Amino acid sequence: MPSALSTRLDAAVEAIPRAYPGPGGALAILRQGEVLVRHAWGYANAERRIAFTPRTLFRMCSITKQFTCAVALDAHGDLSALDGDVRARLPRLDAAAPSAADLAHNQSGLRDYWAVAMLLGSPAEAPFGEIEANAIIAATRSLQFAPGTRFSYVNQNFRMLGDIVAERANLSFTDLLRTRVFDRAGMETAFLAADTAAMPDGTTGYEGAQAGGFRAAENRILWTGDAGLGASLDDMIAWERYIDATRDDPGALYNRLSAPVAFSDGTPATYGFGLGRSTAFGRASTGHGGGLRGWRSHRQHVPSERLSIVVMFNHLANASGAAADLLAALLGETAPGPDPSLPPPAWLGAYAESETGLSVRAEAGAPGQIRLRFGLTPDTLDLRPDGSAGRDAGPRLRPAEGGLWLDRPGDNASTLLAPLSPSTGVPDVAGRYRCAELAAELTVTAAGGVLYAGFSGPLGQGRMEFLEPVGADVWVLPCQRALDHTAPGDWTLAFRRDPDGAVVGVTLGCWLARGLDYPKVA
């Protein structure tokens, strides 16, 4: 390894535990199948003083999705063979069912079942297993969008795929992963860690932060094809070496997983077969992150350079940011920063996005940046000299004829935003609202002149949350905790009135679960 590269990597690796502090972690850097860095630090279990090592078992979470797709492709070749099985799992759907490929590309139009679980009243620490998952999937009556036309991250897409291929093979999904992927790649200790309550070697995930301290995270989900992979750093190194060793074989698993995919209108998609497609420092890249409360991971592959990076944290630090830091050091690149001389634009404010019905808030950020609140978590966008704001291939806000546009290339969507009129005090929206499709309710109260709301349904009764006004008859309900690692994001509550001005209902949604109608019942 050239001395300049060695110096950069040593400095970058040494910086990671300090830049992303927590109980422990591990990382690996590979080039041309050679391991340049294999490093672990801290504790897999701080209370029991179990050291984090390259052989520590870890929850890879949503990185599982590419392995589920690998099993499906290896077993069936053309995923259209599974389309009938998808339809059979959606017996109440009043629309054309998504195909198996739509599931694999997150183009199904389904609402994410962990987001829906919040609407059904599930507490964040409640058990969520096969019974709950199958009930939510089977009860689906409508879609967010026509399959193949848009992107939306939906975890049960991959649970369904995993369940289908296991049922078809009359084998457990664990056996399929072992025989069709793990054994071939030399992933000796990888397994299906379905029960998120504990790991067999005692590894623990932690919530919290350095400033306020860490505590063991409590999880009670049972995962399968959506996020169940358990693997060590050495297992993931084996996967990356297998990818490099089979790079010239068009039929190799990873080459099939990373092949170009498109939406139904032919627009290239930035997600397919459980892998995100992106650009890193001008180079095409594939990869995926993973997370649960207490766990974060990320893997990234740059084929043109034959580079791979894996990062694991057993705490809630930004694993994708750490991977980007390591990639920059490996390539000798520096990520461009914002121009702090650019002033905040005149178009900051609150809007409604017509296709989803969700609220959009563009707020001032650090010099040269704004904060966009629309999806799961706020996006930081860099201001540009042409008056727009964006970053890489992510969302972009741009003023144009007719107003302000929100471009979401990854979602295959571009929408003219409608400015929201200012909110005027506490309106008369208190009451009970019921969604027939979910058989669930939203309760809104005016407690001492302050609005609160909470969900209840077949999975329990959620806590009441403070409502934040966004515009006239538009409020947001913050969802800070969820069964999954990231909460669904702010729920937009858009209240409707009849010609006489009386409130008659509310349309509710977030990026993961949109367009649900709640008529007022009391």
Could you list the active site residues?
A: 62, 65
Nearest residue to 315 (alpha-carbon basis) of 10, 26, 12, 49: 26
Q: Residue 100 in contact with residue 85, Cβ under 8 Å? A: yes
Could you tell me whether strands 460-461 and 58-61 are parallel, antiparallel, or unpaired per DSSP bridges?
unpaired
Residue whose structure tokens are 């609402």: 111
Number of neighbours of residue 283 by Cβ within 10 angstroms? 15
Spell out the long-range contacts of 90-93 with Cβ–Cβ below 8 A and sequence spacing 24 or more: 90/137, 90/138, 90/140, 91/138, 92/138, 92/139, 92/140, 92/141, 93/140, 93/141, 93/142, 93/143
Q: How far are the Cα atoms of 54, 167, 398 from residue 239, in angstroms, in the given order? A: 14, 26, 41
CA dihedral for 77, 83, 84, 86, sign (positive or negative): positive
- Of 426, 441, 438, 450, the C-alpha closest to 521 is 441
Q: How far apart are CA 159 and CA 144, in angstroms?
A: 19
Q: What dihedral do alpha carbons 119, 120, 124, 127 form, nearest 10°?
A: -150
Gap between the terminal Cα atoms of the chain = 71
